[in-house]
Amino acid sequence: MLHYFKNLSLSRGAWFFLVLSCIMLEGVALYFQHVMGLVPCVMCIYERIALLGILFAGILGLFGNRYAILRWLAILIWLISAFKGLMLSLKHQDYQINPSPWNQCEFKVDFPQTLPLDKWLPEFFSPGSVNCSENQWEMFGFSMAQWLIFMFAVYLVFAVITLMSQFKHNRQKNSFIFR
């Protein structure tokens, strides 16, 4: 199995699928925000940034899959972003399950002054005035935060398997006629 994932990490197809899945999830988030009128909370914006980290890792892997240093960097960014996204989604779910005055998210996003994403692209990175404990959408009985827990967990599992596969050596095929 690790050989299979090692070969996948060396191909562009797997990295393209990672990029495509992130673009689709970001597209769904923008559809929810701009078409359905669901206002993103602060945690939604942070989860969106974690997904953009996975997207960046996929793009890096797509173009640098043959170079070990770029492939390793892409896998590490993917791993860190998926882990951070999972932790953010779990915290978001905690806000929804245990709503209380002392268990609330921030009122506004806390970006560094050198990277004010909410000022540069407010349509994408600016949260609304909704509280993180509000559940605005459900599908099959699961909230958006629960779906994100699932998605980030899947991304994390595949990132860990891909990382472990990098330690596997590819079998060299001999070109002898008689073997």
* Active-site entry in 22, 48, 66, 171: 48
Catalytic residue among 12, 41, 71, 171: 41
Residue 22 bears catalytic tag: no
Q: Which residue has the tokens 């994390």?
A: 156
Instruction: Please state the φ and ψ torsions of residue 139, each to the nearest 5 degrees.
Output: -140, 125
Q: What's the token pair of residue 121?
A: 């692209």
Distance CA(170)–CA(147), nearest Å, equals: 36
**φ/ψ of residue 103, rounded to 5:** -120, 75
Q: Which of 12, 22, 44, 179 is catalytic?
A: 44
Which of 66, 71, 132, 179 is an active site residue? 132
Element (H, E) at 16: helix 12-34
User: Which positions ≥6 away from 112 have C-beta within 8 Å?
Assistant: none
The CB density around residue 72, as the number of other CB atoms within 10 Å, is: 15
Structure tokens of 107?
Answer: 């009122």
Catalytic residue among 71, 105, 171, 179: 105
The C-alpha atoms of residue 71 and residue 60 are separated, in whole angstroms, by 7
Would you name the residues annotated as active-site residues?
Answer: 41, 44, 48, 105, 132
